[in-house]
Structure 1
Amino acid sequence: MPDPTTIEETARLAFVRQASACRELGSPFTARLCTLASAGLTANHPVGANILSWAGDPSPSGDSVPLRLAGALHALVLSGTDHGLAAAYPPHAIDNDGDFWIAVDNALRTHADFILERLKSAPQTNEVRRSGALLPGFLTISSLLRKPLVLSEIGASAGLNLQWDRYDYRFGDKPWALLPSPVLITPEWRGAKLPLDIPIHVESRAGCDLNPLDPASEEDALRLLSYIWADQQDRLERTRFALSIAAANRQTVDRADAVDWLEQRLQDVHEDQVHVIYHTIAWQYLPASSKAQGEALITAAGERATEKSPLARLQLEADEQKHNGAALTLQIWPSGEKHLIGRADFHGRWVEWTGWPGLH
């Protein structure tokens, strides 16, 4: 039987590690919350007892318990449920850590049932700024293949990154937009020049998720927004606008297992179109067996691809250089040629562009 002391120490350490990650990703408020929680949580109320005796892996790379708690608390603020907690959240400021923790601790006790229910579910985000890394990939695909795109996104959440062609972009001093959009994405651009004058057209789009969120649902929108860190107002506003665009276009995401969904999507032949399988910080969360099955399905579909019906896979995923963002890779069939075309911050704050060899 595991040592209860060790379990508690592991839970507290998860908050310390999450605090460090939040500082690196530009959220001093969430870092402060996690730091105070690491020391201040006690087992004398249901929420603290649940967290400090967590049966699984509470770490940021496991069950992400700190982000589950942060999301639950933020939901209480966004919904107007706890005015005392809201007074301690941005744009307000409480300089004294003791007073800040009193507001948090009161919320943990007062809204225990709500928080305990939220702790059962993994955090769910849909980081719109990742489209700033995806767009260069889609422009590369269009430049190489000169065909309309059929989009299939794995782990699509609310489908916000299925709407990438409906956003406005600035790459340095270079703009890109098909139509005016309230969503503006401006990553810090590093590296090679990006050709932006390539014709691009999305023929159709679809996505899957184990727990898809409906952008037209107030409850689902609240859930998505609650996992955005409370001191990052720009992310909150951008996501609200993206939700409205997805809702207006009646974008919904299929509730499905990634492998089952992929198998079905890859059966279709798209003549004179390029089928693009893509995912951002999602593949790593699949079980090892599912990843192996998924890779085999994509490889088999690549072997069936032709010049008339090509297949592409665009992915932004963590690799062994996680300290330097995520790897942006592109593979195209029938040739099977694959290249690292760039790297990007996990939240899309910067893009370091390498590009496809020989394509300028």
Structure 2
Amino acid sequence: MDGLADQFRELAAWADGSDPLYAHLCRRAAADPDVLALAEVAPEGRQAPHLLLAAVQCRLARDGDHRLARYYSSLTADPRDLDDSCYPAFREFCLDNADALGPILRTRRTQTNSVRRSAVLYPAIAHVAARTDGPLALVELGPSAGLNLRFDRYRYDYGGRAVGTPDSPVTIESEVRSGDPPLPESPPEVHSRVGIDRQPLDPTDRDDADWLRALVWPAHTDRRDLLDGALQVAADEPPRLVEGDLLEDLPGVLAAIPDDAPVCVVNTLVLYQVPDTVCRELEAALAARMAERPLHWFTGAPDLSGGESVDLDWVRREGGEVRRDRLVSHAPHGAWLDWHG
């Protein structure tokens, strides 16, 4: 249980300055054996602190009468300031609802579908599209509900420069801090799009949509608004998602794409949740495919240490060799980017 307590402390440090409520709850939970015992039912490797916080918020949204809900800016227009009654209310809610929270912790995963990351993918995909013949076939690994597969259905505002789909119900704002990313007025044309996930979420299903909302931290109002807009887009055009393993099922997905269609395989932050051996096998498998067909790979660094910046690398075959370059650094949820391409 000591390791789980450390996870809560680490998440508290991550939440500092981003969501005071979650920072407070995590610090107190790290020293609470009863709450730790509840979180411990989550399968190993599934980020129990994240799951517990999301499970609580999900249940609270369905039962907003509990006094704990008064502290959540996601559930009330006038949230209560943190005080001595906050954590006792959280503890009470957790223990009183343990029978309902347990199944969520056992079956759900941390599958945050951060729509603002599309602001990073937009110039990255445009960068590759300008170097290929024909529209790109997109394949996303670990897409959650596949909302970023619809990157070309959103409008973007990069510090006053608007691109993308002008009449979209979703406007994503992101700051270009450095570099000169390609930002075409119209999005690159897409040949096809598909995602592979062990447990794909259906954006048109109420329970799955509620879980996606629950994964957004209470203080992150802008992320929640973007998610709601993206769910509207997905309701009109649900993405194609394959339930499967990223190693075992990727070959079949690639084989179904015409050989002359250039492929772009995308994963942003999913690899930090899988073993290093899987990362190495995936890299080897994609490198082999690059020798057989036009294939580009955008991959987020598998190490997510809690820093303010993560990288997206561009892997492709050039001159008979596989090259890997850092294409863009960005905030974990896409609020800003530094272009290196």
Structures share a fold, TM > 0.5? Answer: yes
The one-letter amino acid of 1:36's match is: R
What is the match of residue 21 of structure 1? 14
* Larger Rg computed on CA atoms: 1
Q: Could you tell me whether the CA contact under 8 Å between 1:215 and 1:247 is conserved in 2?
A: yes
Deviation at residue 55 of structure 1 after TM alignment: 8.9
The range that moved more, 336-345 or 212-221, is: 336-345
Q: 1:66 aligned to 2:59? A: no
What is the match of residue 203 of structure 1? 191
Q: Could you tell me whether the CA contact under 8 Å between 1:160 and 1:246 is conserved in 2?
A: yes
State how far apart, in whole Å, the 1-side matches of 2:160 and 2:185 are.
17
Q: 1:351 aligns with which of 288, 312, 337?
A: 337
The range that moved more, 138-147 or 286-295, is: 286-295
Q: 1:278 aligns with which of 266, 270, 273?
A: 266
State how far apart, in whole Å, the 2-side matches of 1:55 and 1:127 are.
23
Aligned counterparts, 1:1-360, within 5 A: 7=1, 9-23=2-16, 26-39=18-31, 41-43=32-34, 47-51=35-39, 62-80=45-63, 82-90=65-73, 91-120=77-106, 121-197=108-184, 200-268=188-256, 270-305=258-293, 310-319=294-303, 323-333=307-317, 335=319, 336-355=322-341
State how far apart, in whole Å, the 2-side matches of 1:55 and 1:118 are.
9
Deviation by residue 1:276-318 (Cα, 9 ceiling, x = unmatched): 111110123223333333222211110112xxxx211112334
The one-letter amino acid of 1:111's match is: N
Deviation at residue 144 of structure 1 after TM alignment: 1.6
Deviation by residue 1:154-173 (Cα, 9 ceiling, x = unmatched): 00110011111111111122
For residue 189 of structure 1, give the secondary structure of its aligned residue in structure 2: strand
| CA gap 1:246/1:317 in 2 versus in 1, 3 angstroms | farther
Deviation by residue 1:126-149 (Cα, 9 ceiling, x = unmatched): 111111111111010111224201
Deviation at residue 12 of structure 1 after TM alignment: 2.4
State how far apart, in whole Å, the 1-side matches of 2:297 and 2:42 are.
37
| CA gap 1:284/1:101 in 2 versus in 1, 3 angstroms | closer
State how far apart, in whole Å, the 2-side matches of 1:214 and 1:55 are.
22
Deviation at residue 330 of structure 1 after TM alignment: 1.1
Q: Could you tell me whether the CA contact under 8 Å between 1:312 and 1:331 is conserved in 2?
A: yes
State how far apart, in whole Å, the 1-side matches of 2:305 and 2:54 are.
28
The one-letter amino acid of 1:170's match is: D
Deviation by residue 1:195-235 (Cα, 9 ceiling, x = unmatched): 32376201110001001000000000011111110111111
State how far apart, in whole Å, the 1-side matches of 2:206 and 2:91 are.
27
Deviation at residue 21 of structure 1 after TM alignment: 0.7
State how far apart, in whole Å, the 2-side matches of 1:155 and 1:96 are.
35
* TM-score normalised by length of structure 1: 0.85
State how far apart, in whole Å, the 2-side matches of 1:187 and 1:198 are.
15
State how far apart, in whole Å, the 2-side matches of 1:268 and 1:56 are.
34
The range that moved more, 109-118 or 217-226, is: 109-118
Deviation by residue 1:52-87 (Cα, 9 ceiling, x = unmatched): x66976xxxx43221111001110222235432222
* TM-score normalised by length of structure 2: 0.90
Q: Could you tell me whether the CA contact under 8 Å between 1:79 and 1:222 is conserved in 2?
A: no
State how far apart, in whole Å, the 2-side matches of 1:286 and 1:28 are.
29
For residue 63 of structure 2, give the secondary structure of its aligned residue in structure 1: coil
For residue 333 of structure 1, give the secondary structure of its aligned residue in structure 2: strand
Aligned length: 334
State how far apart, in whole Å, the 1-side matches of 2:94 and 2:196 are.
34
State how far apart, in whole Å, the 2-side matches of 1:322 and 1:231 are.
18
Over aligned residue pairs, what C-alpha RMSD do you find? 2.3
| CA gap 1:277/1:142 in 2 versus in 1, 3 angstroms | same
Q: Could you tell me whether the CA contact under 8 Å between 1:311 and 1:332 is conserved in 2?
A: yes
* Structure 2: gaps of 5 or more residues: none
The one-letter amino acid of 1:224's match is: L
| Identity %, equivalent residues | 29
State how far apart, in whole Å, the 2-side matches of 1:106 and 1:250 are.
39
Deviation at residue 123 of structure 1 after TM alignment: 1.9
Q: Could you tell me whether the CA contact under 8 Å between 2:155 and 2:163 is conserved in 1?
A: yes
Deviation at residue 321 of structure 1 after TM alignment: 8.1
Q: Could you tell me whether the CA contact under 8 Å between 1:318 and 1:325 is conserved in 2?
A: no
Deviation by residue 1:228-280 (Cα, 9 ceiling, x = unmatched): 10111111111111112112102241110111221112334535431111111
For residue 145 of structure 2, give the secondary structure of its aligned residue in structure 1: coil
State how far apart, in whole Å, the 1-side matches of 2:129 and 2:231 are.
26
Q: Could you tell me whether the CA contact under 8 Å between 1:318 and 1:327 is conserved in 2?
A: no
State how far apart, in whole Å, the 2-side matches of 1:258 and 1:106 are.
39
Deviation at residue 352 of structure 1 after TM alignment: 0.8
